[in-house]
Amino acid sequence: MHRHQLFTDFLGLAVDAQPDLVWLGAVHAVEDAVERCRALVPDVVIVELDVENGGGLEPMSELLDVLPGLHVVLLVAVATDSLLQRAMMAGASALLPEDGSLEDLLRVLRDIRKGGLWVHPSLLRLLVNCSPSEAPADAPVHLTAREDQVLQLLGEGCAASKIAPHLGMSRTTCRGYVAVLMSKLGAHSQLEVVAMARRRGLLRGGKWPLHDHECV
């Protein structure tokens, strides 16, 4: 859902050119987006976060009310740490700058369908209120006990939606821990967190007692 016709036309052509992605169309009003989502039940929706013109987070919230399992990719034009935190709390699956690359967007469209969380590096630093690290890539990573718990469960293939109730926290809090892990490990996605943690020997490989056995 984007207000610029030219942008959406080019994006549609780019997505349709991918063998594993299908473009279902674009709309420019919230009411039309809700109606289209009800009819087509997409996996992913791209929403422009148009704060300057009053867009806010309402469009995403309305779409998630219709399809709770929908993955929403937010394109952000003007970002603040408060805005990004509210976007995560509202259920965004990915945060990307509006002037980012097509390659990044296509990568997110693929990864997000696997249940991951993706934040562009430029937005991630703002989200967790930290500056770019100057430490070498192999420098020790210091994790709190809670961060380590979340990391171990991610390493077992558990989705954040399952980790949160198991550890007695909200999904929003769990997403916050994942964002911090991404920052500390220099990862851009939830999948990269696991891969980089494994390379650094941070995953112990033990099985956590998740009673519902619904790790994905």
Domains of the chain: 5-127 (3.40.50.2300), 135-216 (1.10.10.10)
With a cut of 80, say whether residue 71 has pLDDT above it.
yes
Q: Which of 8-22, 27-41, 76-90, 100-114 has the lowest mean pLDDT?
A: 76-90
With a cut of 80, say whether residue 127 has pLDDT above it.
no
Q: What is the mean pLDDT of residues 10-22?
A: 94
Whether this prediction's pTM lies above 0.75 is answered by no
Using CA atoms, how far residue 52 sits from 9, 76, 88, in Å, is 23, 11, 19
Using CA atoms, how far residue 59 sits from 14, 80, 126, 155, 156, in Å, is 24, 19, 23, 33, 34
Nearest Cα residue to 71 out of 119, 116, 12, 17: 116
Q: Which of 20-29, 45-54, 103-112, 154-163 has the lowest mean pLDDT?
A: 45-54
Identify the residue with better confidence: 213 or 130: 130
With a cut of 50, say whether residue 42 has pLDDT above it.
yes
User: What pLDDT does residue 206 have?
Assistant: 56
Q: What is the mean pLDDT of residues 161-181?
A: 86
With a cut of 90, say whether residue 151 has pLDDT above it.
yes
> Do 172 and 128 touch, CB atoms closer than 8 A?
no
With a cut of 70, say whether residue 215 has pLDDT above it.
no
> Do 44 and 118 touch, CB atoms closer than 8 A?
no
Amino acid letter, 60: M
